[in-house]
A and B are shown apart, each in its own frame.
Chain A
Amino acid sequence: MKPRHFLVLAGMVVFSSVGDILLSRGMKGIGAVSLSHGLQLIPAVFNPWVSLGILFLLGYFVSYASALSWADLTFVVPATSFGYVLIALLSQLFLGENVTVVRWLGILLVSAGVGVVARSPHLTKDHEEAPAKVFSPALSAASEGNS
C-alpha cells in the first residue's frame, strides 16, 4: 500500500467517528421521532449539529469510495474499526470518562482484529470487470508514434 492509502484509511476513521458523535448530539436535541411522524426527520437535517455531522459523513463517503477502488470490502471495513478504539481513548483522555476493564478488553479485541486484517493483502481478487481505462495523453502520443 502507498502512503496515500494509509491517509485515506485514517481519514475514514476520523470522519466517521466525529460524524457519528455530531449526529448523536443533534438527534438528542431534537428528541424521539416516531415512525408515524417520519417527516420530522427532514427539518432535523437542518439542525446545525446534524448538518455538520452530515458534512463529516460526506468526507467519510469520499474516503470510503476511494478505499473501495483499491482494496477488498473485507479489508476496508475491519481496518477502519480502529475508530472505536480512538473514541474510547479520547473519551478517557479529554472527557474524563471511565474506561472499564470490559471496555479495555473490547479495545484489545478490536485492535487484534485490525492487526490481523492489516497483515493480509488488501486486494485478493482479480476483478473480471477491468477498471475504466484512464486516458493518458503521453501514452496515447507514444502509441501513435510507434504505429
Chain B
Amino acid sequence: MQSPLYTWLSIAFLVAAGTTGDCLMSRAMKHIGDPGEIMRQQGLGTVIRRMSMSGRIWIAVFFMALAFFALLFALSWADVSLVVPAAASLTFVTNALAAKVFLKENVDRRRWAAAVLVCCGVALLART
C-alpha cells in the first residue's frame, strides 16, 4: 500500500482530468447530436465518421485517458472501495461547478441538492 498522500494526489488528478473530459465531451456531443437518431437516418458509418472527425471529442478522450491512467495508479495503491467512491463523490461537485461556469447549464437548487445528496451518500458508502 502506497502513502495516502500519493493516493489522494492521484484521486485529485483523476477528478480534475475527469471533470475536464466530461465538460468537453458534453459540449462536443451537443454539437454532434444524438448518435441514435443519426444512426437511424444515416447509418452507423456516419456516426463513427462524425465522431472520429470531431477535434473536441479527441481532446475530451485525451483528458478521459489521463483520468483512466490516474485511476489505474490509484487502484494499484489503494482499495477500489476507497478510490472509486471518493473520486466519484468529488466529481459530482466539480462537475456541477464546471457545468454552471463553462457549459452555462441551469444548475438550480434541485440539481445542487441532488449533487450534494449523492456526494454524501457515496462518501458514506466509501466508509465501509
Give residues in B with beta carbon < 8 Å to A.
Answer: 1-2, 6, 22-23, 25-26, 29-38, 41-42, 50-51, 57, 64, 68-69, 71-73, 75-77, 80, 84-85, 88, 91-92, 95-96, 98-100, 103-108, 110-111, 113-125, 127-128
Q: Are B114 and A32 in contact (CB under 8 A)?
A: no
User: B110 is contacted by which of A38, A107, A111, A120 (Cβ under 8 Å)?
Assistant: A120
Residues of chain B lying within 8 A (CB to CB) of residue A95: none
A109 to B114, CA, bound (A): 9
Known: A84-B85, A129-B30. A134 touches B38 (CB 8 A): yes
- Contacts of A8-52 to chain B: CB distance below 8 A: 8, 20-21, 23-24, 27-28, 30-35, 38, 41, 44
User: A134 is contacted by which of B37, B91, B99 (Cβ under 8 Å)?
Assistant: B37
Q: Are B110 and A119 in contact (CB under 8 A)?
A: yes
- Contacts of A74-129 to chain B: CB distance below 8 A: 74-75, 77-78, 81, 84, 88, 99-100, 102-103, 105-114, 116-117, 119-120, 124-125, 127, 129
Q: Are B42 and A106 in contact (CB under 8 A)?
A: no
Known: A20-B80, A78-B92, A110-B122. A66 touches B34 (CB 8 A): yes
Give residues in A with beta carbon < 8 Å to B.
Answer: 4, 8, 20-21, 23-24, 27-28, 30-35, 38, 41, 44, 57, 61, 64-66, 68-70, 72-75, 77-78, 81, 84, 88, 99-100, 102-103, 105-114, 116-117, 119-120, 124-125, 127, 129, 131-132, 134-136
Q: Are A106 and B115 in contact (CB under 8 A)?
A: no
A38 to B10, CA, bound (A): 13
Known A21-B80, A117-B114; 15 more pairs at CB < 8 Å: A27-B76, A30-B76, A41-B73, A61-B64, A73-B99, A78-B115, A84-B121, A106-B120, A110-B117, A113-B115, A120-B110, A131-B30, A132-B31, A134-B33, A136-B41
Kindly provide the distance from the CB of A142 to the nearest chain B CB, expressed in whole angstroms.
15
The residue in A57, A73, A117 that gathers the most chain B C-beta atoms within 10 A of its C-beta is A73
Q: Are A78 and B124 in contact (CB under 8 A)?
A: no
Q: Are B110 and A103 in contact (CB under 8 A)?
A: no
